[in-house]
Structure 1
Amino acid sequence: MQITVLTAEAKAGEIEAQLQLADLYENGFGVPQDRGQAAFWYHRAAELGSVKAQSRLGQMYIRGIGVPEDYAQAVHWLHQAAGRDDPAAQANLAWCYQQGLGVKQDYRQAFDWYGKSARLGHAGARYNLAYMHANGIGTARNEGLAVEWYRKASEQGHMKAQLNVGLMLATGMGTEVDLKEAAMWYEKAAHQGYDKAQYNLALMYAGGHGVPQDDKVAFKWHQSAARQGYARAQFNMGLFYVYALGVEQDYEAAAKYFRLAAGQGYI
């Protein structure tokens, strides 16, 4: 559809045209990217009752995308969409309550909205709900439920959830110790580039915990994390070079990594 026709339909109050136009301007498809125009058309559609537009507009106000950052406006629109079971709006509204953005900080409200969103399948909400269960924020501490929700988010590819469920499985928090499964979740997060998971997976291979002991693989994952600036991995890289673990001995390389770690205060 030509942009002139779509614009005419949007101006005439066609919600689907307004949403399409907003999406085109937001992403620069077929038109120059213009997030201000995107926000304008989301606003028009939101006023006409579009849940999708209300949810997206609320997120734009949180982040100052195409509009000035305005948490009160964000909460206004998110509440409308959240009340109509939009999981993204519920998750973002929960975040506002958790952080006290545009509303008085209220952990119980945050917990409740994360719960609604999590039960509708939102991965980020599942991660945050698990975190609140694990730390007793807005609810009684319950490590078993934390593991359950971290695992659900992990299965959707949420890398922080994958790290955390791995940690809980490795230490027996809220579940039986299962080093093999812990290593599996670390590896999934590591392949997404998460430095903490790469470091933890490296330790598993270095010690043979849940995986066959393998210094070369441990070196590889330490290196991946170290290249991202993870100080503990940088320090361990120094040790690997000093003691020739999975790599040829190289004191110069060891000194380099020790300096990098020390530069971050890790000694």
Structure 2
Amino acid sequence: MRAGHCRVAFTCFKLAADRGYSKAQFNVGLCYEHGRGTEKDLEKAGFYYCQAASSRHPMAQYRYARYLLQHGPGSLQDRQHKAVALLEQAAGAGITEAQAYLGVFYMRGLQPQEKRGLKYLLQAANSGDAQSRFHVGVCYEQGLGVQQNLAEALRHYRQSAAAGSRQARHRLRAWEQQLQGKSPQCPCYQHSVGWLCVAIMADLGKQESEFSSLGRVFYGM
């Protein structure tokens, strides 16, 4: 959108926002946050996000929560408490970004809640977020919030990689290289190859080219 069009749009949004329309308040917040049609002003962005969030605008709840955590006034504990409440409301309304943010927040917080974090990561992954799908794979690989299951980790990594996640592709390649560097007599090698091949054989029709060399390693081809 051209600069002139952005200014006109901002003026229209602000008129409606000042009359209490939550969608317009959210759009004004976006304009102030990104400097579209007006000067960039994070404090004003937070104000309009807050206005829209108070009317239960789900994406505004997510944006205002992010603002509180990164730029908001008050103590960190108070800001986190309010932000998490807003994020959970937005996540419950189906906002994928809020689900993904909560998943990571609960996994990496000062007092991690891994099962709760995994719940939100799965929600975001099932909404199509490739990065959250990768994080779910990490949870299964490391046993975070769920019993360790390397075959499930592989399944989620493959889905994430197919959806475009570079981290998932790198993780899959790392596993391949790890197996290639081990002796077939090594117990660690036998364990790793064993579960990996079970997972692959269960889905032969959908094998990806990234795993072709794994078959050669295991079968000595």
Q: Do the two structures share a fold, i.e. TM-score over 0.5?
A: yes
| Partner residue in 1 for 2:147 | 212
| TM-score (ref. length: structure 2) | 0.76
| Partner residue in 2 for 1:169 | 106
Structure 1: gaps (5+ residues) = 1-62, 258-267
Q: Give the Cα–Cα distance (whole angstroms) in 2 for the partners of residues 245 and 157 of structure 1.
A: 39
Which one of the candidate residues 196, 209, 216 is aligned to 1:247? 196
Q: Give the Cα–Cα distance (whole angstroms) in 2 for the partners of residues 253 and 172 of structure 1.
A: 34
Q: Give the Cα–Cα distance (whole angstroms) in 2 for the partners of residues 120 and 74 of structure 1.
A: 22
Q: Is the contact between residue 216 and residue 245 of structure 1 (CA under 8 Å) also seen in structure 2?
A: no
Which one of the candidate residues 54, 57, 63 is aligned to 1:119? 54
Q: Does 1:184 align with 2:94?
A: no
Q: Is the contact between residue 88 and residue 117 of structure 1 (CA under 8 Å) also seen in structure 2?
A: yes
- CA shift at 1:254, angstroms? 4.7
Q: Is the contact between residue 151 and residue 196 of structure 2 (CA under 8 Å) also seen in structure 1?
A: yes
Q: Does 1:156 align with 2:113?
A: no
- CA shift at 1:162, angstroms? 0.7
> Higher mean Cα deviation, 138-147 or 214-223?
138-147
Aligned length: 188
Q: Give the Cα–Cα distance (whole angstroms) in 2 for the partners of residues 254 and 78 of structure 1.
A: 52
Which one of the candidate residues 162, 169, 184 is aligned to 1:234? 169
| Partner residue in 1 for 2:183 | none
Structure 1 pair 212–133 and aligned structure 2 pair: CA distance change class (3 A): same
| TM-score (ref. length: structure 1) | 0.64
1:14-33 equivalences under 5 Å are none
Structure 2: gaps (5+ residues) = 180-191, 201-208, 215-221
Q: Give the Cα–Cα distance (whole angstroms) in 2 for the partners of residues 69 and 210 of structure 1.
A: 50
Q: Is the contact between residue 118 and residue 125 of structure 1 (CA under 8 Å) also seen in structure 2?
A: yes
1:122-137 equivalences under 5 Å are 122-136=57-71
Q: Is the contact between residue 240 and residue 246 of structure 1 (CA under 8 Å) also seen in structure 2?
A: no
| Partner residue in 1 for 2:36 | 101
Q: Give the Cα–Cα distance (whole angstroms) in 1 for the partners of residues 73 and 4 of structure 2.
A: 30
